[in-house]
Amino acid sequence: MKSAETQPNTTVVAGATGFDSKAFLRRLTQRPGVYQMYAADGEILYVGKAKNLKNRVSSYFRSCGLSVKTQALVARIHHIDITVTGSETEALLLEQNLIKQQRPPYNILLRDDKSYPYIFVSDRHPFPAITFQRGTGRKEGRYFGPYPSSGAVKESLNLLQKVFRIRQCEESFFRNRSRPCLQYQIERCSAPCVGLISEADYRRDLDHAKQFLQGRNHELMQALAREMDEAAARLEFERAGALRDQISALQQVQEQQFVSGQGGDADVLGCAVQPGGVCVHALFVRAGRVIGSKVYHPRVSIEDTPAEVLSAFIAQFYLGGPREIPASVIVPMELPDQTCLQQALEQRRKRKVAVVSRVRGDRAGWQRLAQTNAEQQLGSHLASKQNIYHRYLALQEALGLDSTPQRIECFDISHSSGEATVASCVVFDREGPKKSDYRRFNIEGITGGDDYAAMHQALSRRYTRVRKGEGVLPDLLIIDGGKGQVAQAMAVMEELQIDEVLVVGVAKGPTRKAGFEVLIRGDSGEETVLASDSPALHLLQHIRDESHRFAITGHRARRAKARGKSTLEGIPGVGPKRRRELLKHFGGVKEVERASVEEIAKVSTISRTLAREIYTALHPDS
């Protein structure tokens, strides 16, 4: 991009009566560039780009026709800085750099700014592993991706393990093997660590896996069929059978994930806009294969129409970070600056990019699918937000609060007869669970099974840090427990001189059934039983259950690590043979834990009754 220049004498500062737009616009250039709007305290409000700066900035100061959100923005403007560029494309690229750096509150903002997941294959090892990797460039080798989510990567890795038996272990684990590991026994690895496969044969399987990741499936299927025939001709029937199984597995994948008749790479975007929310649904297609989708709910302020939202979304989505730009971006409608967007994407990609809305055949089907999903996801999202809002109002009324809580934290304790005690802290705000603020505490130095001491330790550790400025206090603290646990919470609040947080215990009622919980206020000791259909009770149950789930998940992981054995051990009816069959079928313990009862029952040695018992043992909070 050519260097931009800041236009001299274009910043007009507001006087006592506000921003002097007429004086500012009289001197404003008609060249392309970027404008930055600031508030009186110097806060950046909005960054925009324009093909004609005078025409674009003038549109904010019309006497009529402005949306409420735009009027709110204009009312806060104290001064505007202008940066002139050589073209509209340069302006677009500069705008995205400024948005990324300054994150203005009135611009569309994506929360999804983390590095994206890739599949990585090392070039410097005789037996390279295929591994999960976030971001690119830190290691020498081949990167495949990015994928829309870590789940999509794990699904692909699981398939590669099952079909091609490529190792996925860490280098330290690989170097120190003296005998094959469990992955070899369940036929998920060819055990190159102990020499059970030659380097040439391993490289051949690795090349097949790379072909699959590159989307060269037709070529791969032909090569496998040819190798199978050659192996059969040499009377190598075991090898021919293995190749036959690979072909069968790949055919199954094609039936499930490939779209016939179209190839190439494309991102297909759908967009829905309603009062209160926006949804963009992205469908990712690589080499004709739908590799996944993702839903985005960007924060928007002054964009009103789906076309305006998509234009801003595409610019930030592809130009605001190191994201792969496909050959084609399919959108559901013509965009106001479609040509400029396409030129900017081509400049960033250094190859041709097509931003298109008029498509046929399978691409039209993808387009309809993305748009339908965007509309449905937005409807569900708004309904959920509305439902949460009503629950918060009901909770405010039930507890007699002056205002609705903005932040709620809930603590729970999990252990097995005092072993591997873990405390959980989950956080909810007006949007629902705020998982980035979740915390777990490994409890040490107490008598096993002493829930009161465990609760006291977890609360002390949590709120001591908050008092040191490492977090924020909640408006409401929920304790999963009765009077004893609430007393511990009140003791910690008193020790740390925290008196602005309301403590409420959620204790099981006499029947210990859901719907009969007793609420215990920490400040007065008052006990309340809400109606079983109360929205306030439903909110507390949701928070309490989420805290319990988070605690027991951490406890199980800590216990399994301490015992050095699988969580499948100890389940009645599941001996070594059935454990082996489960691991062979699913590929690992984590996959078994994620499986449904129906999926577990598909294992040949597992009945539906036993599948239910396994599921219950792995999900004690279900």
386 in any annotated domain? no
Mean pLDDT in residue range 513-536: 85
Q: Which residues contact 161 (CB under 8 A, 6 or more apart)?
A: 168, 183, 188, 189, 587
Would you say 313 and 287 are in contact if contact means Cβ atoms under 8 Å apart? no
551 in any annotated domain? yes
Per-residue confidence band for 512, with pLDDT thresholds at 50, 70 and 90:
low
Range of the domain at 321: 266-380
Examine the domain organization and report whether 370 and 318 are in the same domain: yes
Residue 304 belongs to domain with CATH number: 3.30.420
What is the residue whose two structure tokens read 């599921």? 615
Residue 34 belongs to domain with CATH number: 3.40.1440.10
- Type of residue at 112: D
Would you say 298 and 279 are in contact if contact means Cβ atoms under 8 Å apart? no
| Whether the predicted pLDDT of 61 surpasses 80 | yes
Examine the domain organization and report whether 23 and 127 are in the same domain: no
Residues of the chain with pLDDT > 90, as a percent, come to 25
Examine the domain organization and report whether 146 and 183 are in the same domain: yes
Examine the domain organization and report whether 478 and 544 are in the same domain: yes
CA 261 to CA 408: how far, in whole Å?
Answer: 51
φ/ψ of residue 280, rounded to 5: -120, 125
Mean pLDDT in residue range 252-275: 66
Would you say 343 and 316 are in contact if contact means Cβ atoms under 8 Å apart? no
Per-residue confidence band for 48, with pLDDT thresholds at 50, 70 and 90:
very high
What was the pLDDT predicted at 18? 66
| Whether the predicted pLDDT of 508 surpasses 80 | yes
Examine the domain organization and report whether 415 and 552 are in the same domain: yes
Q: In terms of C-beta distances under 8 Å and separation of at least 24 residues, what long-range contacts does 37-40 make, across chains too?
A: 37/73, 37/77, 37/80, 37/104, 37/106, 38/77, 38/78, 38/79, 38/80, 38/81, 39/76, 39/77, 39/78, 40/14, 40/76, 40/78
Distances (CA, A) of 182 to 126, 185, 190, 588: 22, 5, 11, 10
Residue 599 belongs to domain with CATH number: 1.10.150.20
Examine the domain organization and report whether 573 and 554 are in the same domain: no
| Whether the predicted pLDDT of 47 surpasses 60 | yes
Per-residue confidence band for 392, with pLDDT thresholds at 50, 70 and 90:
very high
| Whether the predicted pLDDT of 490 surpasses 80 | yes
356 in any annotated domain? yes
Examine the domain organization and report whether 438 and 552 are in the same domain: yes
Per-residue confidence band for 493, with pLDDT thresholds at 50, 70 and 90:
very high
Mean pLDDT in residue range 307-336: 88
Per-residue confidence band for 115, with pLDDT thresholds at 50, 70 and 90:
low
Would you say 224 and 247 are in contact if contact means Cβ atoms under 8 Å apart? yes
Higher pLDDT, 112 or 435: 435
**Sign of torsion, CA 402 488 498 431?**
negative
Structural element, H or E, at residue 133: strand 130-134
What was the pLDDT predicted at 428? 93
Mean pLDDT in residue range 22-41: 90
Of 102, 129, 148, which residue constitutes the final position of a domain?
102
Examine the domain organization and report whether 92 and 127 are in the same domain: no
What was the pLDDT predicted at 441? 94
Of 150, 181, 215, which residue constitutes the final position of a domain?
215
Q: Which has the minimum average pLDDT: 200-204, 495-499, 513-517?
A: 513-517
Name the 3-class secondary structure at 23.
helix
Examine the domain organization and report whether 524 and 573 are in the same domain: no
Higher pLDDT, 263 or 425: 425
What was the pLDDT predicted at 253? 54
With helix as H, strand as E and coil as C, how does 569-592 read?
CCCCCCCHHHHHHHHHHHCCHHHH
48 in any annotated domain? yes
What was the pLDDT predicted at 9? 38
Q: Which residues contact 420 (CB under 8 A, 6 or more apart)?
A: 555, 558, 559, 562
| Whether the predicted pLDDT of 338 surpasses 80 | yes
Q: What is the DSSP annotation of 426-495? A: EEEETTEE-GGG-EEEE--SS-TT-HHHHHHHHHHHHHHHHHTTSS---SEEEEES-HHHHHHHHHHHHH
What was the pLDDT predicted at 2? 43
Q: What is residue 415's DSSP assignment? A: E
Mean pLDDT in residue range 77-97: 89
- Tally of domains in the chain: 5
Per-residue confidence band for 565, with pLDDT thresholds at 50, 70 and 90:
low
Would you say 119 and 198 are in contact if contact means Cβ atoms under 8 Å apart? no
Q: Is this prediction's pTM over 0.85?
A: no
Residue 475 belongs to domain with CATH number: 3.30.420.340
Q: Where are the alpha helices (DSSP H) in 269-354?
A: 306-319, 338-349
Examine the domain organization and report whether 548 and 421 are in the same domain: yes
Would you say 33 and 84 are in contact if contact means Cβ atoms under 8 Å apart? yes
| Average per-residue pLDDT for the chain | 83
Q: Which residues contact 463 (CB under 8 A, 6 or more apart)?
A: 473, 492, 493, 496, 498
Mean pLDDT in residue range 532-555: 89
- Gap between the terminal Cα atoms of the chain: 56
Query: 483, exposed or middle or buried, with CB in 10 Å at 0-12, 13-18, 19+?
Result: middle
Would you say 464 and 496 are in contact if contact means Cβ atoms under 8 Å apart? yes
Examine the domain organization and report whether 272 and 329 are in the same domain: yes
- Model confidence over 183-237: pLDDT tens digits? 888 888 989 999 898 988 898 888 888 887 776 766 777 878 888 888 888 888 8
Examine the domain organization and report whether 278 and 317 are in the same domain: yes
